[in-house]
Amino acid sequence: MKDDQIVALFFERSNDALIESEKKYGKYCHAVAYNILSSHEDAEECVNDTWHAAWRSIPPQKPHILSAFFAKITRNLAIDRLTFMLSKKRKGQTLSLLEELVETFPSHVGEDCLMDEILLKDAINSFLRSLPDKTRNIFLQRYFYCRSVQEIAKEFSLDENHVSVILYRTRKAMKSHLENCGVTL
């Protein structure tokens, strides 16, 4: 089934939207979560939560690239789950106190923070668009999909050192690009 048909099912509030999403993107989302969590059970929970989050988001959102939409949701859920699991292992009580304080403050204080966030997003997007396809794909595989250097090297038929060098140079170029765009880190 095509992506626009799946999105239409979401807009119709048809349960088939979830079934078709799972069929088409279930393994993909599981791989995204597993790369972060290294646990099939936790990855499966994130994928299930992805469908729930998509159900709540579509409508009003109408994603243009459904695979990227699902991957972003899955990735964020997996990172949240990993953060939670790590916090339980270390000083969970302190972290829960900090979380209580964070809920007291707004996530964006004033218009300047929002403008900084928009500037950063635009600067990152323009940087990624400026990269050659292969370099951009390697960079995204590492830092968006959290894949290992070894996995990336195998996929792109490169040795691990070459991938590491590409990533290092790309990070360095990105830092320079962000500074040139006026983003303070």
Give the domain CATH number at 61.
Answer: 1.10.1740
Domain span at residue 132 reads 106-180
99 and 118 both lie in a single domain: no
Whether residues 24 and 68 share a domain: the answer is: yes
Q: Are residues 75 and 131 in the same domain?
A: no
Q: For residue 56, what pLDDT is reported? A: 94
Q: Residues 82, 113: one domain?
A: no
d(C-alpha 185, C-alpha 183), whole Å? 6
- Distance, in Å, from the CA atom of 96 to the CA atom of 78, rounded to the nearest integer, reads 19
Residue 116's pLDDT band (boundaries 50, 70, 90)? Answer: low
Taking 90 as the threshold, does the pLDDT of residue 117 lie above it? no
The per-residue DSSP string of 8-52 comes to: HHHHTT-THHHHHHHHHHHHHHHHHHHHHH--HHHHHHHHHHHHH
Q: Does residue 18 sit in the same domain as residue 78?
A: yes
Chain segment 135-161, per-residue pLDDT in tens = 999 998 888 887 888 999 999 999 999
What's the mean pLDDT in 23-38? Answer: 92
d(CA 144, CA 55): 23
Instruction: Give dist(CA 174, CA 112) in Å, integer.
Output: 23
When comparing pLDDT for 118 and 139, which is higher?
A: 139
- Residues making up the chain, counted from first to last: 185
Angle, CA of 49, 52 and 54, to the nearest 5°: 110
Chain-centre distance for alpha carbon 97 = 27
Task: Look at residues 103, 125, 141 and tell me which one is the last residue of a structural domain.
Answer: 103
Instruction: Give yes or no: residues 8 and 66 share one domain.
Output: yes
User: How high is the pLDDT of residue 184?
Assistant: 65
Please check whether residues 129 and 88 belong to one and the same domain.
Answer: no
Q: Write down the pLDDT at residue 185.
A: 58
Residue 74 confidence (pLDDT) above 90: yes
Q: Which carries the bigger pLDDT value, residue 112 or residue 74? A: 74
9 and 88 fall within a common domain: yes
Pick the more confident residue, 9 or 109. Answer: 9
Rounded to 10°, the helix 3-11/16-37 angle is: 110
Over 60: is that where the pLDDT of 109 sits? Answer: no
On whether residue 185 sits in a domain, the answer given is no
CB-based contact 83:91 (threshold 8 Å): no
Number of domains in the chain: 2
